Chains A and B, each alone.
Chain A
Amino acid sequence: MEYFERFAIPHPSPAIYASMVAIGLTVIAIIVGLTYFKKWGYLWHEWLTTVDHKRIGIMYLISALLMLFRGGADAIMMRAQMAVPDNTLLDAQHYNEIFTTHGTVMIIFMAMPFIMAFMNYIVPLQIGARDVAFPRLNALSFWLFFMGAMLLNISFVIGGSPDAGWTNYFPLANNEFSQSVGTNYYLFALQISGLGTLITGINMIVTILKMRAPGMTLMKMPMFTWSSLVANVIIVFAFPVLTVALTMGTFDRLFATNFFTTSDGGMDMLWANFFWVWGHPEVYILILPAFGIYSEIISTFSGRNLYGYKSMVGSMVIISFLSFLVWTHHFFTMGQGALTNSIFSITTMAIAVPTGVKIFNWLFTLWKGKIVFTTPMLYSMLFIPTFTIGGVTGVMLGMSAADYQYHNTMFLVAHFHMVIIPGVVFAMLAGLHYYWPKMFGFMLNEKIGKWTAWIIAMSTLLAFMPMFFSGLDGQARRMYTYSASTGFGLWNMLSFIGAIGLTIGFILIVYNVIYSIRYSPRNVGSDPWDARTLEWATPSPVPYYNFAKVPHVISTEALWDAKYRQHDLFPEPYEKIHMPNNSGVPFILGCIFFAWGFSFVFGMWIPTILTTIGIFICMAHRSLEKDPGHYVPVEKVKATESKLRGSQL
């Protein structure tokens, strides 16, 4: 291809120029705003260089919400295109790019940072630690993720978006059939952010295993921490497979190797195997922390301990194990024979058992409780029935013979949206409302919150239930149009209306945040929900060192014991606290990785070599640097505590 053609210049669509201008103006507005309000120093010292797990968590949260809207815009365009037969709103190429980025953005750049936000923010607090095990590595993880996300997001204005589906099946994704640089963007965006995720996985496992408060044995960890531990173990096992697969794909596209080609010994199903060996566990990486959040919320608002703690833990461990034994169900139709299909059919359906155990445990946590309907609880209660529908259709898909009819149809699309939206998105929204006072010191408005929860839940049903029917009626997924004679029109129109409902719901969340910033009362105290676990024992917002004194734990519900069973949570005297120093290197390294990925996408080899050297210089800098951190003196801790806690002490 000609040099400039790779950048898609000149571009056929004026909408792209409009987007470029919009992006340019936004960047200028941000720069002018920061300069005018003299916030550059604040941004650099307090955020870009921070190694504080709470700030990193908040940055993950903001990124996730932004990406939710990016992926949501894609979704609404897709549903609008499909709403009526023979629609010409989008052409095939556009539609293909949009569903590809919708899937990629929602899984990798929305759901993942959403769970990372909560893991980062909550886990150290919940185990009574002052930070994660490797704070600076944690900052690097975030910046790698963020730069990966940005790399994918600029694709549509420079060079063209990936268009081979979020599963990126080769040989369709290879040069011969996918000639734009879109797939290169996909490969590097996932590679860079995947590295960040893998580093987080290691970091979190070490944090949870080594940094728990005195007395907190493994079987006394709160459920969210348990779910995070299990999810991070899955990350550490699954993500290297993605790394290898993406590397092989990159070699195929840029260096003419033949791992996944149609000739010269390439095996196209090899990509599918690699992708789903990572991809299926990925689903549980997302859902387990979500289950953890539900466990915290349901137990708090039932006023009761979590029912069946041990079986909750056990079921998660079993799910994590089974998650690696089911990847083949993604291609029952690949012709691997009845025996293989039978084995994977059974392992797939088996996951329903531990998942069912969790549902029943939540139901029995409500039993004899004192249920208060707050917004987080409402999301959790809407989750149970919606997720159950999604879950049982998963069992249906697991029956391999029947899957021959569901495979690649809207039935499948309906199923995974009905598990991921209630399972992950509802949980994250519930967590957002639940932990908001801890993060920012005030509550989100309850009335708007409840309205939003109802609208989102009902719209989810309206948007995705019709797809079960259109799938059984023969509508394949990823078709950009269909004729009126197929009879899919009604189902797709219903879905479109549901999608509009979802859009309204998500806009209401933004409205709620703005409304609450202006009108919500401050000083809600450190424990506004009468919660049970350790993260609520800190003042809100949490001081940077988290705990002034090291907490001592006697059960899974440390704070509850302190409040109602006269347990002395903080028996230790004040001592000086060791904290890590801020560093700009993770951010700079992230920027270099972005430039590295961008150069690679376009095969610009000199910048690629220079940035590669830059990456190694940053790593060498860290190896040779002496940075022992700093101590916070006792007087300063005491002063901060009395200021934050006020009359509470």
Chain B
Amino acid sequence: MKKSWLRLIGLSTIVTMLTGCDPLLVLDPKGPQAQVQAKDIMLSIGIMSFIVLIVFVLLAYMLVKFRASKQSPDYKPPHIKGSTKVEIICVGIPVLIVAYLSFISVESNYKVESTPEKYKQEEPLIIYASTSNWKWHFSYPEEDIETVNYLYIPAERPIEFKLYSYGPITSFWIPQLGGQKYAMADMVNTLHLAADLPGEYMGRNANFNGKGFAENTFNVTAVTQDEFADWVKEVKATAEPLTEEKFNTLLEPGHVGQSTYTGTHLTFLPAPEGENGGHQHGTSHTKDHASQQNDH
């Protein structure tokens, strides 16, 4: 049938465009985790195209061969129950494909859920990334600094993002460094990322969280490890300290620009982990603190 061929052409265009000159962000990885994911995506596109092709060819064959207009008027189609042989093939091959993809999926999952193999020997940099409507707070506890709406990270060093949220569920996503994970109010999620190269990357919240969602983005700048150390020094020398009052005003809903502080909010408002975790259902002082804030 004519249309099936059109589809085929369409599909091959997709594949060529995906691998083509102007790469789509996700398929243009700049870090080991995003590389694993891009590889999985391309592999699955390949295998799936094969399946689509089989279905299209079979459909085209049936429609061309068995249409009534090409048959004698007295042809009576037979009664065919089915065939074990055909069904073994129709079940068996998909089972093999799914088994193979499952294997790849599980393996990749463990990879993206841990420190990238490539940078295992490096000490990971820990950054707490929290959201409030509609902004991002990045705390560097070891460096004792905090930024709003932008990230500075060293390249070629693994980074452990600790994600949580003040309010609605958000999702931390830097497409070129690796896939996203949720930031929620009552627990801390860990996301392992790393950048292979210095550069500028787009980051955003990917999970809908109300009116300001579209602009809930942040810039990521990956620099060499020396430049990162310099940047930390400079921030410490020049930035204002982050006071509790200042942080409370930042938590109020709205958009703010980028800003930098010395000190982190973790000292006076710890992340919901360990004894401060929402799942502990405890009565720790921080929780009372948090609920008082919601009352304002």
Contacts from A to B (Cβ < 8 Å): 92-93, 96, 163-165, 169, 171-172, 176-178, 262-269, 272, 302-305, 307-311, 331, 333-335, 337-338, 341-342, 345-346, 349-350, 352-353, 356-357, 359-361, 363-364, 366-373, 381-382, 384-385, 388-389, 392-393, 395-396, 398-405, 407-409, 457, 461, 465, 468-469, 472-474, 476-482
Q: Say yes or no for B266: interface residue by CB 8 A criterion.
A: no
Residue contact B90 to A304, C-beta cutoff 8 Å: no
Give which listed residue, B3, B63, B211, contacts A96 with CB less than 8 A. B211
Closest Cβ of chain A to B179, distance in Å, is 2
Q: Say yes or no for B136: interface residue by CB 8 A criterion.
A: no
Give CA–CA (A160, B18) in the complex, Å. Answer: 42
Give CA–CA (A304, B207) in the complex, Å. Answer: 48
The closest CB in chain B to the CB of A176 belongs to B294
Give CA–CA (A400, B111) in the complex, Å. Answer: 11
Residue contact A93 to B211, C-beta cutoff 8 Å: yes
The closest CB in chain B to the CB of A265 belongs to B281
Residue contact B98 to A474, C-beta cutoff 8 Å: no
For chain B, residues 140 to 199, give those with C-beta under 8 angstroms from any C-beta of chain A: 163, 166-169, 171, 173, 175, 178-182, 184-187, 189-190
Complex interface: chain A residues within 8 A of B126 (CB)? none
Closest Cβ of chain B to A78, distance in Å, is 13
Give CA–CA (A171, B51) in the complex, Å. Answer: 41
Give which listed residue, A368, A370, A389, A408, contacts B206 with CB less than 8 A. A408
Closest Cβ of chain B to A412, distance in Å, is 10
Residue contact B52 to A357, C-beta cutoff 8 Å: no
Give which listed residue, A92, A342, A371, A396, contacts B66 with CB less than 8 A. A371
Residue contact A357 to B182, C-beta cutoff 8 Å: no
> Interface centre among A311, A399, A469, by most B CB within 10 Å?
A399
19 contacts between A and B (CB under 8 A): A169-B169, A262-B294, A264-B291, A335-B184, A364-B80, A366-B63, A369-B66, A370-B71, A371-B63, A381-B1, A382-B3, A385-B3, A401-B36, A404-B180, A405-B38, A408-B206, A473-B26, A477-B208, A480-B214
Complex interface: chain B residues within 8 A of A399 (CB)? 40, 44, 101, 104-105, 108
The closest CB in chain B to the CB of A386 belongs to B7
The total number of A-B Cβ pairs within 8 Å is 306
Closest Cβ of chain A to B270, distance in Å, is 15
Residue contact A472 to B18, C-beta cutoff 8 Å: yes
Q: Say yes or no for B202: interface residue by CB 8 A criterion.
A: yes
Complex interface: chain B residues within 8 A of A408 (CB)? 171, 173, 180, 206-208
Closest Cβ of chain A to B10, distance in Å, is 7
Residue contact A263 to B206, C-beta cutoff 8 Å: no
- Given the known interface contacts A370-B66, A407-B171, the answer about A171 and B185 at a Cβ–Cβ threshold of 8 Å is yes
Give which listed residue, A265, A267, A338, A353, contacts B94 with CB less than 8 A. A353
The closest CB in chain A to the CB of B49 belongs to A392
Q: Say yes or no for B229: interface residue by CB 8 A criterion.
A: no
Give CA–CA (A312, B278) in the complex, Å. Answer: 47
Residue contact B109 to A335, C-beta cutoff 8 Å: no
Complex interface: chain A residues within 8 A of B186 (CB)? 262, 266-268
Q: Say yes or no for B68: interface residue by CB 8 A criterion.
A: yes
Closest Cβ of chain B to A490, distance in Å, is 11
Residue contact A262 to B167, C-beta cutoff 8 Å: yes
Give which listed residue, B38, B62, B179, B185, contacts A367 with CB less than 8 A. B62
17 A-B pairs besides A342-B109, A401-B112 with CB distance below 8 A are A93-B211, A172-B208, A262-B166, A304-B78, A308-B86, A334-B181, A338-B106, A345-B102, A346-B106, A367-B80, A368-B78, A401-B37, A404-B181, A405-B37, A405-B175, A474-B26, A474-B204
The closest CB in chain B to the CB of A351 belongs to B98
Complex interface: chain B residues within 8 A of A364 (CB)? 80, 82, 86
Determine chain A's interface SS by DSSP, over half rule: helix
Closest Cβ of chain A to B188, distance in Å, is 8
Residue contact A385 to B4, C-beta cutoff 8 Å: yes
Complex interface: chain A residues within 8 A of B133 (CB)? 177
Complex interface: chain B residues within 8 A of A333 (CB)? 171, 179-182
The closest CB in chain A to the CB of B176 belongs to A474
Closest Cβ of chain B to A276, distance in Å, is 14
The closest CB in chain A to the CB of B87 belongs to A311
> Interface centre among A272, A350, A405, by most B CB within 10 Å?
A405
Give which listed residue, B58, B91, B213, contacts A353 with CB less than 8 A. B91
Complex interface: chain B residues within 8 A of A262 (CB)? 166-167, 185-186, 278, 290, 294
How large, as a class, is the contact surface on chain B? 35 or more
Complex interface: chain A residues within 8 A of B106 (CB)? 338, 342, 345-346
Residue contact A263 to B211, C-beta cutoff 8 Å: no
Residue contact B171 to A396, C-beta cutoff 8 Å: no
Complex interface: chain B residues within 8 A of A350 (CB)? 98
Residue contact B52 to A388, C-beta cutoff 8 Å: yes
Complex interface: chain B residues within 8 A of A308 (CB)? 81-82, 86-87
Residue contact A335 to B187, C-beta cutoff 8 Å: yes
The closest CB in chain B to the CB of A347 belongs to B102
Complex interface: chain A residues within 8 A of B18 (CB)? 472
- Given the known interface contacts A171-B169, A171-B185, A308-B82, the answer about A267 and B278 at a Cβ–Cβ threshold of 8 Å is yes
Residue contact A172 to B209, C-beta cutoff 8 Å: yes
Complex interface: chain A residues within 8 A of B178 (CB)? 404-405
- Given the known interface contacts A92-B214, A476-B204, the answer about A303 and B48 at a Cβ–Cβ threshold of 8 Å is no
Give CA–CA (A354, B169) in the complex, Å. Answer: 34
Complex interface: chain A residues within 8 A of B228 (CB)? none
Give CA–CA (A402, B187) in the complex, Å. Answer: 23
Closest Cβ of chain A to B129, distance in Å, is 13
Give CA–CA (A396, B101) in the complex, Å. Answer: 9
Give CA–CA (A384, B61) in the complex, Å. Answer: 13
Residue contact A404 to B37, C-beta cutoff 8 Å: yes
Give CA–CA (A115, B212) in the complex, Å. Answer: 37
Give me the 6 closest cross-chain CB pairs, A-B, nearest first: A404-B179, A335-B189, A401-B108, A262-B185, A392-B48, A366-B62
Closest Cβ of chain A to B277, distance in Å, is 11
Residue contact B182 to A335, C-beta cutoff 8 Å: yes
Q: Say yes or no for B119: interface residue by CB 8 A criterion.
A: no
The closest CB in chain A to the CB of B62 belongs to A366
- Given the known interface contacts A269-B184, A392-B51, the answer about A303 and B26 at a Cβ–Cβ threshold of 8 Å is no
Give which listed residue, B48, B81, B112, B185, contacts A268 with CB less than 8 A. B185
Closest Cβ of chain A to B251, distance in Å, is 12
Give which listed residue, A92, A310, A472, contacts B213 with CB less than 8 A. A92
Complex interface: chain B residues within 8 A of A177 (CB)? 133, 167-168, 209-210
Q: Say yes or no for B77: interface residue by CB 8 A criterion.
A: yes
Give which listed residue, B77, B81, B181, B214, contacts A303 with CB less than 8 A. B77
